[in-house]
Amino acid sequence: RIWQVIDMTYGIPAHPAERLSAIALDHLPQIAARARHLVETNRVLLNQFLAGHRDRLDCPPSFLGTTVAPRLRAGSAATFCENLRENFETTVVPGDFFELPDCFRIGIGGPTENLENGLEQISRALATR
pLDDT in tens, 89-121: 999 999 999 999 999 999 999 999 999 999 999
Cα-based torsion angle of the residue sequence 109, 110, 114, 116 in order, rounded to the nearest 10 degrees: 30
Q: What percent of the chain has pLDDT over 70?
A: 92
Q: How many whole angstroms separate alpha carbon 86 and alpha carbon 71?
A: 20
Give the pTM: 0.81
Helix 28-52 vs helix 15-26: angle between axes, to the nearest 10 degrees? 90
Q: How many whole angstroms separate alpha carbon 125 and alpha carbon 57? A: 12
The dihedrals phi and psi of 112, each to the nearest 5 degrees, come to -60, -40
CA-to-CA dists, residue 118 to 80, 85, 99, 113, angstroms: 14, 11, 23, 9
